[in-house]
Amino acid sequence: MKRSLNLILLISAFVFSCQPPTEKGLKDEFQDEFFIGVAVNGRQVNGSLPKADSLLNLHFSSLTSENGLKWSNIHPKEGEYAFEFGDNYVRKGEEMNAFIVGHTLVWHQQVPTWVFQDQEGSFLSKEELQDRMNEHIETVVGRYKGRIDGWDVVNEAFEDDGTWRKTHWYLILGEDYIAEAFKKANQEDPKAELYYNDYNVWKPEKCRAILKMAQNLREQGIRIDGIGMQGHYRLDFPSLDQIEAAILDIHQAGFQVMITELDVDVLPRPSDFDGADLNISIEDSEIWNPYTDSLPSAIQEKLKNRYISLFGLFSKHSDKISRVTFWGLHDGSSWLNNWPVRGRTNYPLLFDRELNLKVPFNND
Ligand code: GLA
C-alpha cells in the first residue's frame, strides 16, 4: 500500500507545485521497481507536440510503438516498407534514454491480406509463408538491431480457453510458427529481449496454454524472455487476485512478467466483452456513451482507487515485473474511445485530453 500512496503523493506534488520541485516523474518514483512505459503514436515521436514531449521526458522510462511497427504500417505492400515512424520512434526513445519496445512482429490483426496470398488470391504454401515471415523479421528487426531493446515477437496466439487461435499463421504454418518467429528474431538481434504478448492472461486456462508454449520453446533451446500481460482492465474487473495469480504463475515458470497495455475502461460495455478483440464494433448510442462532457466525480474516484490498487499489486511483485506500460499517453489518444463502440468519450488513462494530470489524482 505504501507504494500506491507514494504514487498519489508524487502526482499531487507534481500537480500542486507550479514548478515540480525536483522534476521527478512517475519513472523516477518507480525506478527501483520497474520501467514505466507508454505506447506512442507518430505525432508523439516526431517532435511536433511539445507538451506531449515534455510528459514523455518527465514521466516515462520505456516506450512501446502503438501502431507504427505493426505489419500493415511498416510493411504495407510486398517489397515496400515504411520506416518513417520507426526511425522517429527509435530516435525519440534514445533521446529519452528509454527502454524501447517493438510491437509487434507476428499477429493476426493489422496485417494485410496479401501476406497470406499469392497474386491469384490463393493461400501460400507453408514454405512461402515462412519465407515471408522470415523476410519481414529480418528486415524490421535487422533495421533496428541494437536500438530496439525488446520485441513483442508474437501477439495473441491463443483463445481465452487456451486453444490455439486459428489464424492464417497457425492454419498455414502450424503450431511451430511461434518457434520459427522467435528463432528468427533472435538470429537477427541476439541481444534484444523477446516476448510473447496477449490479453486476458489472467484467465488460468489461457495462462497455462501460454506457459506451456513458452516452456516448450525453451526446451527446444529457443530464446523467450518474458510474457506480456496486456492490462486492458475495467473498474472492477478482473480482480486483483486473478491478476496476481497469473503474475505468480509466469514468474514461477521462469519468465519475466510485463504489464504491457495498461488502461482502465470506465464506460459501460454492451455485453460481456473483455480483452481486446479488435473485430468487435457496435454502433454508438447515448446509453453506451454517457460521459461526453466530463466524468462524474464518483467514477473519477473509482478510477483513482483502481489505479492505486493495481499499482499496489504491481509494486508488491516488483521483483517479478520488469515493466508497466500504459496503452496511450492521454485519454484523447486512447483506442478505448473507439472500442468496443466507435466514437465514445472514454477516460482510461492518467492524463486528460489537455494532457494534464487528471482530477482524481490531484485532490489527495
Ligand atoms: C491489442 C494489441 C495492441 C492494440 C490493442 C488495442 O491489445 O496488442 O496493439 O491494437 O489491442 O489498441
CA nearest 259: which of 350, 321, 301?
321
Q: How far is the centre of ligand 1, averaged over its atoms, from the C-alpha of 338 (Å)?
A: 12
Distance of CA 93 to the CA centre of its chain: 16
Which amino acid makes up residue 49? Answer: L
Please tell me whether residue 297 adopts helix, strand or coil conformation: helix
33 lines ligand 1 (CB under 6 A): no
Rounded-to-integer distance, Cα 302 and Cα 308, Å: 10
Distance (Å, whole) CA 64 – CA 337: 19
352-356, long-range: CB within 8 Å, 24+ apart, which pairs? 355/51, 355/52, 355/55, 355/329, 355/330, 356/15
One-letter amino acid at 350 equals L
CATH 3.40.140.10 fits 5-337, yes or no: no
Q: What is the pTM of this model?
A: 0.93
Could you give the C-alpha distances from 187 to 44, 140, 183, 197, in angstroms and in order?
Answer: 31, 12, 6, 20
Spacing, Cα 276 to ligand 1 middle (Å): 7
Closest ligand 1 atom to residue 104 Cα is 9
- Shortest-distance atom of ligand 1 to CA 67: 9
Tens-digit pLDDT string for the chain (364 aa):
445 545 554 544 444 344 444 578 999 999 999 999 999 999 999 999 999 999 999 999 999 999 999 999 999 999 999 999 999 999 999 999 999 999 999 999 999 999 999 999 999 999 999 999 999 999 999 999 999 999 999 999 999 999 999 999 999 999 999 999 999 999 999 999 999 999 999 999 999 999 999 999 999 999 999 999 999 999 999 999 999 999 999 999 999 999 999 999 999 987 655 666 655 566 656 788 999 999 999 999 999 999 999 999 999 999 999 999 999 999 999 999 999 888 899 999 999 999 998 866 665 4
DSSP string, 31-86: TTT-EEEEEE-HHHHTT--HHHHHHHHHH-SEEEESSTTSHHHH--BTTB---HHH
Q: How far is the CA of 283 from the centre of ligand 1 (A)?
A: 20
Measured in angstroms, how far is the CA atom of residue 364 from the centroid of ligand 1? 32
Around Cβ 301, how many Cβ atoms within 10 Å? 13
Tell me if 230 CB under 6 Å of ligand 1.
yes
d(CA 284, CA 68): 27
* Ligand 1 contact via 325 beta carbon (within 6 Å): no
How far from the centroid of its chain's Cα atoms is residue 202's Cα?
15
Residue 335 Cβ inside 6 Å of ligand 1? The answer reads yes
Atom of ligand 1 nearest to the CA of 156: 8
Which of 335, 338, 341 is the pocket-test mutation for ligand 1 (most atoms within 8 Å of CB)? 335
